[in-house]
Structure 1
Amino acid sequence: MSAQATTTAQMRRRQGWKGTPGANGSWVVTVSLAVLIFSATNLLWPIFDTNTWSAKAIVLVTIMLGAAALVRTFTGSQLWALIASIVGGAIVLVGFTGRGSPRATVEGWGVLAEQLVEQLRSDAAPLRETDAMTTLVLIGVAIIVVLCDFFVFGIRGRSLAMLPLLAFPLIPMALGIDAFDGWAYVFAALALAVFLYAVSSWHQRVHDEELSYQGFLVDSRGLAGLGGALGVTAVSLVAVLVASTVVPAPTGIDAIRQTSTAGLSTNRANPIIDLGEDLRRNNAVEVLRYATTTDQGSLPYLTLQTLSDLNGSDDWTPGAFDGNVAIDGSELPLPTGVSAGAQSSEFTTRIVLNDGVSSFLPRPGFAASIVDLQGEFLLEEQTGDVRSANDEALAQNYEIQTVVPTPSFETISQLEVDVPPELEPLTQVPDEPSADRIRDVLAGIVDENAPAGTQALQLQAFFAKGFAYSETAPVQQGYDGTSLDVIAAFLDARAGYCVHYASAMAVMARMLGIPSRIGVGFTPGSAGELNAEGQPVYTVTSDQLHAWAELYLPGHGWVMFETTPAGALGNLVAPGPGETTAPTIDPFETTTPTPTPVETQSTAAPTVPPETPTPTPTDGTQTAGDQEGEEAGIDLTAVFVTLAVIAGALAVIALLLIPAFLRAARRRARRTAVLTGRPPQHPSAGTAAWQEISESAVDYGVRLATGLTPEAVVAAIAGAFETRRDPADAPASATDPAVAEVDDARSALDRIRVEHEHAAFSDPGAGEQLSAGERSALWNDVLVVRAALRAAAAPAVRRRAVLAPASLSGRR
């Protein structure tokens, strides 16, 4: 085989099965696009608490782009490549979310959808990386992959392909995330430079090969396009760096940020992580309201969750929640370590919890019984924590009877701690250099010969002098958190807020051999109006978020030790009977019988707790138990589900319309090629017109075998026009409109063939000698032929030609 024949064969292979330049795509461009998408997904990291989803996204992108490139290589069809990409993505998503059988998988998707709706209503950045949220992210990545592949290979766009990728930096901005990872943007910028150069080189190569095949002489371009790619990247980097220093931090879109009770740390897997940010927020967010039978003495804290694990240099974290007791309204077991007859207070509280606060129930002490809950809840007997079985942070209106250990100072001072085997891990402190610094401070605080209870009281008293409450000092001085390193720095600086006091007390107690942990929840809140039973209704906001130390004392169980300065805790004392800090009105409408109060040590004349219907004092609103019949408010779940269904339907419609859009884009490119006389991807106006009528004929069902001569192609297309004549009728006259249209189409077809042959076999550059009027007439001939093909086709063929054009699949 001659060198010229070999070159021609290579060109035809590169041009694809249809002879269309670049139809087989480019693996180099595909790989560069994959790297660009990988790097762009890194920009989503700040909105999640963990990022294990990233590995799944890499698998998804690789399989989707790889499947599309493989099919494109062997078929030269962008439509089949698009289908392969979607199918590959669907298989990966099913693999990640499948549950054995098709039925179980579909049911699992329903569960994930419900969990997603609930999380979107209640969670706030950094979002929990749940299965539902991971699935949503992967679906979003899959849609972006399809769009990018379509823009790059379907309509040959360079910068257009970057539009879907803008979602990755814009989503954190919409959520108000101000974290800026410069290296993530640098990596994305470098990937963008490689992608732009790869696409530019591929476009130039395809164009040059087509010109060469038509007889033009084309010189090597070398590294042409590299300068432009690097220039765009440099400008992008500079713009990002300038914006990061000049533009104010993003505040987010209010409609998105305010869909939950505002991103409290109580909604996290570890609620202590962002507690400082919640305390420093400018506008307090209401969390719950409650009324209690305690109307004298100290008010209890409202515990959400306990933190018991401390490993290495990490912060305190919750232990595993094993939820071994179901909440069904019956009596619950006594807390661990509590003996019958131990000093304690018992009371009843009615709590109205706002939507989205936490999947853990606020409890004033240890729960003895809970009624009126909506949904399934479990009790962790070891810690006393109560959590939704489905990890849902729903609004609740429930009544809880609780027990709070209240040993006197005299009793505590005489206690020796006998540690049960199961609590031995809660006396361990990691062997870190900072632990020795803490022990040095501890040695000067306690009497080593005193009982363990006395040492605990001495430790508590240590924090009462010489320490200052500050929510900003730890941030400014770089020791915010609860790790051992932070505690050592806090003991030196002697300024911090509740998490520092609580973690320091708990770590030092462990060093004394006393089991300890941290409680996270709320201080009692502010008393407001009286309800119908004459009880103060307490309002708790994000300002009351709090953390405290809890120490295990034999016979009493877990006892709270408060070390945070009293000035930062707000009101901790219940007003006397009949006292109120606001006008005495009924803020809530009681709609169900009130429960019988429990005799307590802290109240001489117990009253009934309110059956409060909603967290806010409005008239005529339904209770949480009546939400199914709610008419006055908006059902946010229904809104989210409806929006999700609409979005899904629009996405399906958009995917179904992609072939039509792709075919229309190709037609517009050829129209530009004919009318301008300077075709960007076509060697001549005649060739572009010929390609358009050939593919239009295939779309309308005309079979054009490979290798047909131009005359044979014209005959096949003209034969389709003749289907408009009915053989059973008398011969049509020349004045018949249908006959005139067919004749015009045949004439237009001949003129396009002549111009195509002229461009293909004349001297190079001859096609560019057409005048503007001739180019306009040539494209008008294309329109006449297309109109005749459409008129001759059946209705079903017409629809198929628009929605599923055969020319995109490589059929002839």
Structure 2
Amino acid sequence: MRLTIASGVAAFTAAILLYPLFQGGGWLWTSLGAVLAVMAAGLLSSRLSLPAWAAPLVAVAATWIYLTVAFAADKAWVLLVPTKASVVELARLVGVGWADIQRFAAPVPETEGITMLTAGGVALIAIAVDLLAARVRRAALAGLPLLALATVPATILSDPISWPAFIVAALGFVSLLIADGRERVGHWGRAVLVRRTRAATSPPPDGPRAAADTSGLRLSGKRIGFAAIVLAVLVPAALPAMEPVSFFTFGVGGRGSGPGNSISIPNPIANLKGQLELPERRVVLSYTNNDDQPRYLRIYALDTFDGQQFGMTQPKGAPQNRTENGPLPAPPGLGTDAKTTNVVTKIQISEEIAQLKFLPLPYPPRQVRVDGDWRADVDTLMVFSTREEAAGLEYEVATSEPAATPDLLDSLSGERPGTDPRFLRLPDNLPPEIAELATSLTANASTDYEAAVRLQQFFTKDGGFVYSLRTQGHGNSALRDFLLRDRTGYCEQFAASMAVLARLVGIPSRVAIGYTGGTKIGEQWQVGTNDSHSWPELYFEGVGWLPFEPTPAGAAGQGSARVPEYTQPRPEATATSSTAPTPGASSSSADEAQDPSARRNPREVDREGTVATSGLPPDDSTPLIVQIGIGAAALLLLLLVPAGMRLISRNRRVRSLGWKVSEPADELTAAMVSGPSGGHPAVAAVWAELDDVLYDYGMARHTSETPRALARRLIQQYEFDAESAAAITAIASAVERVLFAKNAGRIEPMRKDLRTVRQALGATVPRGRRIRAVLLPPSTLRRLRGFGERLLDGFDLLENIRLRRTAAQKGS
């Protein structure tokens, strides 16, 4: 029975590790009920001596009954016995719970379905633990199902497991191993518990007796278990941060890898429409830049189209692409022939933004200066984090924006050597009418750029489209109705439709979601929820990805959306003039285009340009050698903790040695009972310090030695000179007078005597031992070890109480 109870305790403590996955605590108590049901079934199986294979069946039946009572009692017979209706209800909750898990990101709300699935899963773990530990008698193997519970939050959440929760779970497993050990020892007879006391460890007055000391055997398992827990908590905290491997870090591995420490990515499209439908405008962020021009701020880049809607391929955030490492990867497709404009933007995110792990950025970012672990995806230059959130964040971003012109884009048409095929991929079941529309709209276009401009004009001018949020659906039929019949939608449908049409005519495309440039208020641009927006980005080899704007101008709620100047009709007089690189941005004398021959590597920081344009401050990150030095210093300080404790205790004792106090008669009894520490403070201090000095030098006082015998041994064994012999004799005499004399009389200061004895003892030991006595004093380590043993004794308390009760029952 002991193993059954210990198995249930271990399963429940391991289930506590799941707490970060839920918003409340109701699931925990429901899971506790499931574990108790499994424990009751296990106790019944043990009582009836059922075979090992039958116990799990009884536990499953008990779990079924418990879940019926907890979630389908109104459909069960007498609230307890399962019926067909209750089984159907539980099956429905399983489906609902599974759908909720797929729909929500951690921490998930405590819906009825999720709570039932959690309780059932914990019950299955408890059944597996009981089977391995109590039935098959393989308690160590029972750690595997417990480990399964620990891996759930470890693989879903970016934050590490809380160390208090880990300690609780580890103690549960250690208690299971201890119970298994006691069960095995019990087969050979009843275990006898011996309390470790000073009397038990000291030899009896009439001489030593032969006795078996089993305390070491009894405590070895506990010591190993506690040592392992302490090391598991302290060692990772002391070690420097390491890069996690691919299966534990979001986006480090290649595409298609498991989620790892996956971050919560809400549905960008649903979030976009939700912000646009808010009844009142709320400020999302504000920004300023060195040319004072509005710019679209992209958050997500959606690159896959499944026929229903656009989605996002899992980003890749390699360690070398951390923002703190300097320049970001080069923008895909940006060549040396395109002139660029350097702009620095300072952005402040509102505190009210929740669960945003991607930074709103103008495109293409060259360098981002932000606090925290933020990384750039190589293909899209989205900047995200698995640990941080953007709420309240302030950061700076430097961009190198290509100065696109119609002539330049015309000359780049058809060149796509570096394009990923996914930017052209479309489902096979796309309605043929949509492909026919794309072909007809671009029939007379001679270049990809001209085809892109005609597609944009189809949405903004020629097609008769109307902006409205009152639309539904994302499938092929909805896309066909939007393009060919209704022609009413909001920005997401305009962006997705143009991206699909561009792919149909061979232009790589993707959909961006973020915010338009916002509104100028005072000295800064302010972006609100009504500025949430979606737009297509088309790829042109040589300049990379360029935004287009198919949403009709002046649309309600999209007043800050602007058509890029490079898609406007070509000015006859200024056909080669520089245009703004992003929608809504215009040329400025502050950011003239750079000569391609004078451009540096796009991955290199332009320090001079940065300073000239009030750009990013110099990198002040701590060098690696300094970080190593700080870590080594912290480790050294940790190792010197015992030395510090010894120094503090020595100074405290030495300060008390200057007192001159006569021992009062009413304190003699306490002195005789509790030793020097209970009577005269100075005598207690000198005796404790002398005891520690002897232990540190490897000359520990024998338990049976009186103070006078100790002094005599030291004088003879180490050949003390006259002064040292007089000093140790004076100390011994003072201690004996406090312990045994009726009136201790006047006690002279003993600071000089203690110093003389310490110097005499130090002269007899090697230098290495003296150094160890200072840096790693054994006396302090002895106290720490004694504290740990007293802590371990607490685990014997319940067992001792049980034995005493048994003896009392026998006596009665």
TM-score (norm 1): 0.43
Name which one, 1 or 2, has greater alpha-carbon Rg: 2
TM-score by length of 2: 0.43
Bigger RCO (CA 8 Å, 6+ sep): 1
